[in-house]
Structure formats: C-alpha cells, structure tokens
Chains A and B, each alone.
Chain A
Amino acid sequence: MSNEWPLFEVFIRGQHGLSHRHVGSLHATDAAHAIQNARDVYTRRKEGISIWVVPAAAITASSPDDKDALFDPADDKVYRHPSFFDIPDDAGAM
C-alpha cells in the first residue's frame, strides 16, 4: 500500500490568460485539499485568478510508443498550414 496522497494535475488561468494552462502536479487527499495546495504551491506570486485540479489518474495520455504513427505523418504536409493563400489587403491583420 502506498502512503502517498493521490496525484492531481493543476491548471491555472492567469490574470490576462484566456484558457487554463497546465502548471504542474501535486499530492492531496481530495479535490478540495488539492485546490488549497495548488493555491499555496502555484499562486503565491499572483500567477492566477482561477484554479482547476484534475485527478492525474483521470487523464488518458497518448503512448510515447505511438509517436511515429501519430505525429510523424504531419511532417511532410506543409500544405496544411494556411500560408499558401494571398490574403486580400482589406481582410486586415489575420
């Protein structure tokens, strides 16, 4: 049996940020405790105005073994970037 508290992943939305960003992880006994710990560990220097915590066990991650199959095929498909179009001047900044 492990004596470690469960692991939580922490997401913080910054003062001017639009979305929550992953900032790290911590241990806590439950979600409410994780919010308190996240407040103390990750927002001491005014880093954020909103905190999400997610049990690390609830996250399904892609396998590093699948890296070639998942990501390499995108390498030679530059045409998927929208950089081959002439943008009319009156469209303004994109």
Chain B
Amino acid sequence: MSVAGLIRLGDNTLVLGQRLSEWCGHAPALEEDIAIANIALDLIGQTQLWLGLAGAREGAGRTADTLAFTRDAWDFRNLLMVEQPNQDFAVTMMRQFLFDAWHFEALRALKTHDDAEIAAIAQKSFKEVTYHRERATDMVVALGDGTEESRTRMQGALDRMWPYAGEMFTTDADDLTDMVALRPHFDAHVMTALARATLTCPPSEFAHQGGKTGARHSEHLGHMLATMQVLPRSYPDATW
C-alpha cells in the first residue's frame, strides 16, 4: 500500500512547484527569477514521477495529470507549509529553505527504499534537491546576515513559517519512510544555517497539522488549485 505515501510526496512537489512558478516574471532580480523557475520545473518534474507511479500502483486508470488536475482540495495530501502564499521574497526563501532541508533528508532515506521504483525516483530527485537546499541555505544566510531591512524580514519569515515545520516530522503508516527519524539531521542543518544567518528560532514547538492527512488544509490551497486547474477542468480535451 504505497499509493497514499506516493501521493503525499507528489502533492508536496506539485503544490510547491505551482507556488514557486507564481514568481515567474516577478522575482527581484532576473537571475533569481530564472533560478526560481528552474526549481519550480524540477519540482513539477518530480511530481510527474511520484504521481505517475501512484496512479500506476492504484490501478484505477488515473494518471499524474488526472491526479493533479481533477482532485479537490480535501483530496490533497501535501504539507500545510507548501500551500502557504508566497508573501514576499523573504517568506518564499524561508519556506524553501525549511522545505528543502526536510526534502533532502526524506529523499536521502528513500534512496535506499526496498521498492526499486521508489528508490530510483528518490535518487534522481536527490541530485536536484541537493542544489535546491544549497541555494536556499546560501540565500537565507545572505539575507539574514544582511542589511537591517533584510534581517528583519527574514526573522519575520522564520517566525511565520516555523509553526509549519513540525508537520514534516509527524508520521503514520502511509509514509514511505519514518519521518520522525529525519528530525535530528534536519535540525543540525537548519540550526547551523540560522546561526550563520544571525536569526533566532522561535522557542515554541507548536505545529499546524492537517495537510498530509487531508484533515484540515488552509483556505489558501483551494484558491491556488482554482488557478492551477481552471484550464484542464474547463477544457478537458485541450492539448498543446
């Protein structure tokens, strides 16, 4: 029964890929614009693999496209963090940094999964995410340990995003690896980077939950899906 776990992975990369693509043409510098679009495309590519395998394993005729474009918000199993709005560049980069730090550890564990197809997707994705994590980490350090303005914004972004980090380390039988076990490695990377960035991690361990179980998505997911799904839902036979 790996379908639910595959959908979780694919929904994370799909929703974050869509969020990042909202920056296309709007990022603060041309170079950052292209970099964000590249990362978005990496994530959408990973989505095709995870959701494609989920559809094949399910055996009900659903493809990556039908899973992405014809499910409603309550059927999505992504983390609450990735559906949060981009806000400003600071929030986007902080969200990316925290997600990449978790994603890196999750894929590292999945690279040696007993299921060969899962391991193969994880190995391919891990190379991409290694770069994502490096880039986001450098950006958080540069902006945190930057000007008064950038530091204030990054600390605000951390305060805003931190309550969404805890859900990444909740786990149940649907997960393809034990997410709780990833926490020490995540903490080591994140705390080192935050110290270099002169940012202070909020002391609260409170964690918003309900994304990966589908129990309680935030209102933002529905709005995002409306934009993402409108074309294939309005013109189901459209090709390009």
Residues of A that sit less than 8 Å from B by CB: 5, 26-29, 32-33, 36-37, 39-41, 44
Q: B224 contacts which chain A residues (CB < 8 A)? A: none
Q: By the criterion CB–CB under 8 Å, are B31 and A28 in contact?
A: yes
Asked whether A33 lies within 8 Å of B142 as measured between CB atoms, the reply is: yes
Q: How far is the CB of A3 from chain B (nearest CB, A)?
A: 10
0/1 interface trace, chain B 105-116, chain A, CB 8 Å (1 if under): 000000000000
Chain B interface, DSSP helix/strand/loop, else mixed = helix
Are B138 and A36 in contact (CB-based, < 8 A)?
yes
With a cutoff of 8 Å between Cβ atoms, the chain B residues found around residue A37 in the complex are 31, 34-35
Contact across chains for B38 and A36 when beta carbons are under 8 A apart: no
Q: Mark B177-205, 1 if CB is under 8 A from A, else 0.
A: 00000000000000000000000000000
Q: Which B residues fall within an 8 A CB radius of A?
A: 29-31, 34-35, 38, 131, 134-135, 138, 142
Contact of A41 among B31, B131, B135, B142 (CB under 8 A): B31
User: Are B138 and A27 in contact (CB-based, < 8 A)?
Assistant: no
A33 B38 Cβ-Cβ under 8 A: no
B35/A36 in contact, CB under 8 A = yes
Q: How far is the CA of A32 from the CA of B35 in the complex (A)?
A: 14
Say how far B163's CB is from chain A's closest CB, in angstroms: 29
Residue from A26, A36, A44 in contact with B135 in the complex, judged by beta carbons closer than 8 Å? A36
Residues of B within 8 A of A27 (CB): 29-31
- Could you say which of A26, A29, A39, A40 contacts B142, with CB atoms under 8 Å apart? A29
Interchain CA distance A26-B33 in the complex, whole Å:
12
- A26 near B138 with CB under 8 A, answer no
> Which residue of chain A has the shortest Cβ distance to B143 in the bound complex?
A29
**Which chain B positions have C-beta within 8 A of A40?**
31, 34-35, 38
A93 to chain B, nearest CB (A): 42
- Give Cα A26 to B34, complex, Å: 12
Whether B138 and A44, one on each chain, are in contact in the complex, defined by CB atoms closer than 8 angstroms, is no
Q: Can you show 11 pairs from A to B with CB atoms below 8 A apart?
A: A26-B30, A26-B31, A27-B29, A27-B31, A29-B142, A36-B35, A39-B131, A40-B31, A40-B34, A41-B31, A44-B38
Q: How far is the CA of A36 from the CA of B132 in the complex (A)?
A: 10
Contact B34–A32 (Cβ < 8 Å): no
Bound-state CA distance A43–B131 (Å) is 14
Q: Which residues of A contact B31 (CB under 8 A)?
A: 26-28, 37, 40-41
